[in-house]
Amino acid sequence: MAEPQSLQAQPLMEHLRVFCKDIGPRPACSPEEQRAAEYVRGVLLRLGLSDVQEQRFKSNRTYGWQVTPALAATTAAPLAASAWCGRLGRLVAAALSLGGAMVLQEAVRARPPFFQSLIAAGESQNLFVTIPPTGETWRRVILVAHLDSNKQRFMLPMDNPYWQKPMTTTGLAIATVSGLHLLFSALFGRRRALPWWQYLAALTSLGFFAFVLRDEMQPYIEGANDNGSALAALLGIAEALRAEPLAHTGVTLLFTGCEEAGCTGMDAYLKRYAPPKLDTYFIDLDMVGAGNVCYATKHGVSLMTEYGPHPEMLAFAARAAVKRPDLQVAGKDMLTVDEQATIDRYGYRGLMISSYNQEGYLSNWHRVTDTLENIEPATLSRAARFTWALLGEIDQSPPPARVTSPGQVAATA
């Protein structure tokens, strides 16, 4: 596949300038997030892609709405057991601690909490459009980029990202062990004072609670790398596909809302539309505008909640990287929470394309320095061109073994 002009740095940077400077920070469920969606729609319509569909959904507005109730519960659990003595008190405390620990683990795997309907006070949107192949459909690829940008957050990532996984893992483990101790104490123990370390566990949760509240009061960021870069790349790819569709692969361009609020846009899309798992592949672009381009081989911010790409997608990406050594792309474990978590949880074949700085981490992730001025145009272009190469690799591969005829996939798509 020839490389289209729309994947070069200049046209991509023109799109990115609109997201960063004309629109600016794009909080989940905000008018600015909607303006970003309207810009995307306008570009797609100008390309002649008239069948742009919109999905409206309810969501919480920030990540803090998911984690602060859980941290409040794990903080209150030992105190409740101490103040309300007896078996019933400790059972209640155990439920608070274990429930909070469960919600925290789900939050760092981008799973909405069980109380999602209570905190979904905002409204957002997903936009998507499909470009069919020139021949019979053997597969469908869904390219993903999220519309919103986050606040500055010093807890995700920490100033020294090296400590992110150990600290997050320790916090989750403490909450879980505290809850299990309270449960066994209520069921089998004698009525006595709580050990000192239970109060230390409550103090640890209180510290995390305070840090999250501090993050909730931070300003929203411009979101150039996260995730204006991916939005620009997808618009460039849309133009390329409009001019040169794939042979046997239908491509859906999916622009999601509220990724920064817990990937609720992707969750809403998969719940409502449930594309067939037999031959649907996801490529998630996230933070592709600075440093070295990579495809993620492992994701997660704690040792207890790691996840990764589908092996088949990993093989496609490795072959594309070998065929395009000029793009200098390789697989890398990434410290991140992203929509690949939701894709993986629903059982789809998925892979994330991203980039990393000299220290090996996401550049300017959740920092006010995530501005247009800190984007590297050559990196953005390489990411878009690698995605194009990966699409070609998927399209040129033989039909899936489970498909008895090419029309079988088309009938279910």
Question: Any residues with CB less than 8 A from the CB of 369 and at least 6 apart, and which?
Answer: none
With 0-12 CB in 10 A as exposed, 13-18 as middle and 19+ as buried, what is 46? Answer: exposed
β-strand partners of 352? 284
pLDDT at position 90 is 85
CB 230 within 8 A of CB 287: yes
C-alpha–C-alpha distance, residues 21 and 197, integer Å: 50
How far is Cα 212 from Cα 300, in angstroms, rounded to an integer?
18
pLDDT at residue number 402:
55
In this prediction the pTM is: 0.94
Q: At what angle do helices 196-216 and 164-188 cross, to 10 degrees?
A: 140
pLDDT of residue 189: 72
Radius of gyration of the chain (CA): 22
Q: What percent of the chain has pLDDT over 90?
A: 86
Domain ranges of the chain: 5-61+121-153+220-412, 65-116+157-216
DSSP string, 274-323: ---SSSEEEEEE-S-SSSEEEEEEEB-SSTTS-B---HHHHHHHHHHHHH
Q: Containing H/E element for 187?
A: helix 164-188
Which helix (H) or strand (E) is 145 found in, with range? strand 139-146
Tell the burial category of 366 from Cβ atoms under 10 Å away from its Cβ (0-12, 13-18, 19+): buried
Q: Is CATH 3.40.630.10 what the domain over 5-61+121-153+220-412 is classified as, yes or no? A: yes
pLDDT in tens, 341-371: 999 999 999 999 999 999 999 999 999 999 9
Q: How many CB atoms lie within 10 A of CB 323?
A: 12
Q: Enumerate the β-bridge partners of residue 59.
A: 122
Pairing assessment for the beta strands 292-298 and 349-356 based on DSSP bridges:
antiparallel
Cβ-based neighbours of 86, under 8 Å, separated by 6 or more: 191
| pLDDT for the residue numbered 56 | 98
Instruction: Write the DSSP symbol of residue 160.
Output: S
pLDDT for the residue numbered 194: 83
Residue type, 272: R
pLDDT (average), residues 278-307: 97
Q: How far is 113 from 103, CA to CA, in rounded Å?
A: 6
Q: What is the pLDDT of residues 152-180, one digit of tens each?
A: 999 999 999 999 999 999 999 999 999 99
Torsion of CA 267, 338, 130, 402, to 10 degrees: -80
The reported pLDDT for the residue numbered 406 is 39
Q: How confident is the model at residue 364, as a pLDDT?
A: 97
Segment 109-137 shows an average pLDDT of: 96
For the residues 247-265, what does the mean pLDDT come to?
97
- How many residues are listed for the chain in this entry? 413
In terms of DSSP H, where are the helices of 47-113?
Answer: 64-83, 87-107
With bands split at pLDDT 50, 70 and 90, how would you rate the model's confidence at 187? confident
Q: Find tokens 């247009």 and name the residue.
A: 372
pLDDT at 211: 95
